[in-house]
Homo-oligomer: A and B are copies of this chain.
Amino acid sequence: MAFTNHNGPRPDTAQCYSKLNAAGDALYVIGGKWRLRIIIALSDGKRRFNEIQRAISGISARVLSNELKELEINGFVTRKVYTDFPVSIEYELTPYSDTLSPVIESLIEWGEMHRQRIMQGEPATAALEETL
């Protein structure tokens, strides 16, 4: 009964807090510049370290290495070592990563829309300079 609306800030405040927490939890594990992009890069199948690095422009080997470890710890990615000759190592998404599909798809869709908007000169954003 913590939140009765006797006249406090707003009745929906509690709901908003729970949303903020949920978003915080999500961002904790998949936030940051690279995480989602790595998952996207792996989304059409196994890939090797250098393949991933080439796919994601701007990421360094060190950062990629660290992020892959984190993603593995959190159950999004598995690392497999194939001992056939020559030895190769491949990263692959786990089924748990699939639960991110709605997030990733909506993000990509929004990104495409946003790019269109920027290219039509809507706001004064120097944003996409580098990408263009």
- The interface of chain A, by Cβ under 8 A from chain B, is 9-10, 12-13, 16-17, 19-29, 31-33, 36-37, 40-41, 43-45, 51, 55-57, 73-75, 99-100, 102-104, 106-115, 118, 122-125, 127-128, 131
Complex CA gap A108/B108 in Å reads: 17
Contacts A13-B55, A25-B112, A73-B123 known; list 18 others, CB within 8 Å: A10-B45, A16-B43, A20-B55, A22-B108, A22-B109, A23-B37, A25-B115, A25-B128, A25-B131, A26-B108, A26-B111, A28-B127, A28-B128, A28-B131, A29-B114, A75-B123, A102-B110, A103-B110
A127 to B31, CA, bound (A): 12
Cα distance, A25 to B117, chains bound together (Å): 12
